[in-house]
Amino acid sequence: MAKPGKVEAVAEIADRFRGSSAAVVTEYRGLSMAQLTELRRALGDGVAYTVAKNTLVKRAASEAGFDGLEDLLVGPTAIAFVKGEPVDAAKALRTFAKENKALVIKGGYMDGRPLSVDEVNQIADLDSREVLLAKLAGAMKGNLTKAAGLFAAPASQVARLAAALQDKRAAAGDAPAES
């Protein structure tokens, strides 16, 4: 019979899986409590970094419908449950892992499928949501400017043509008439 504490832990981890947009599995062996606290601060408010027993995480993942994480759950495991932007969390984890070699990113889970370490790094290479929105706004503004120029072009061409015609008539009126 399962102990009530373990049942509650599995239910809590399963809820975190369900409530997250992504999860990144790491190995934290060799990190001090001060370093783990620093990592949690670097991840920010939108990420819950949880150390848990692999057997409990396996049960919680299967309860939540997150299949394919079993291979990642070997050794001391901690999971970053991301509620906000996965890009920001992946960048923070990668940066911390570069500075602290004891943190190893094993993989993750996002959009209904497991992620490899390379895929987590690719997510970390992406621009943040705010940067992508700014780029989109700039591109849209550029296209609107081009469109305004195209719409104004026929009117300005007509104006230049009328001016050229007026200059030609004025030049023809000033010139002596030939017989």
- Does pLDDT of 174 surpass 70? no
CA-to-CA distance for 162 and 131, rounded, in angstroms? 46
Mean pLDDT of the residues in the chain: 84
What's the sign of the alpha-carbon dihedral 105, 72, 69, 8? negative
Can you give the pLDDT at residue 19? Answer: 87
Can you give the pLDDT at residue 6? Answer: 83
The pLDDT confidence band at residue 28, using thresholds 50, 70 and 90, is confident
Of the residues 99, 126, 153, the one at which a domain ends:
126
* Count of domains forming the chain: 2
Query: Does 27 share its domain with 100?
Result: yes
Can you give the pLDDT at residue 71? Answer: 82
Query: Does 119 share its domain with 77?
Result: yes
Q: Using CA atoms in the order 114, 116, 120, 125, what is the torsion angle rounded to 10 degrees?
A: -130
Query: Does 132 share its domain with 120?
Result: no
Instruction: List the Cα angle 70/72/75 in 5-degree steps.
Output: 105
pLDDT tens string 78-90: 999 999 788 888 8
Query: Does 102 share its domain with 29?
Result: yes
CA-to-CA distance for 27 and 74, rounded, in angstroms? 9
Query: Does 116 share its domain with 143?
Result: no
Least confident of 9-13, 35-39, 92-96, 134-138: 134-138
Query: Does 121 share its domain with 75?
Result: yes
- In this prediction the pTM is 0.68
Print the domain residue range for 148. Answer: 128-179
Query: Does 168 share its domain with 87?
Result: no
Of the residues 100, 126, 152, the one at which a domain ends:
126
Can you give the pLDDT at residue 86? Answer: 87
Of the residues 102, 126, 150, the one at which a domain ends:
126
Query: Does 102 share its domain with 136?
Result: no
pLDDT tens string 103-123: 889 988 888 888 888 888 888
Of 29, 138, 47, residue with least CA distance to 91: 47
Of 93, 81, 88, residue with least CA distance to 17: 81
Can you give the pLDDT at residue 175? Answer: 53
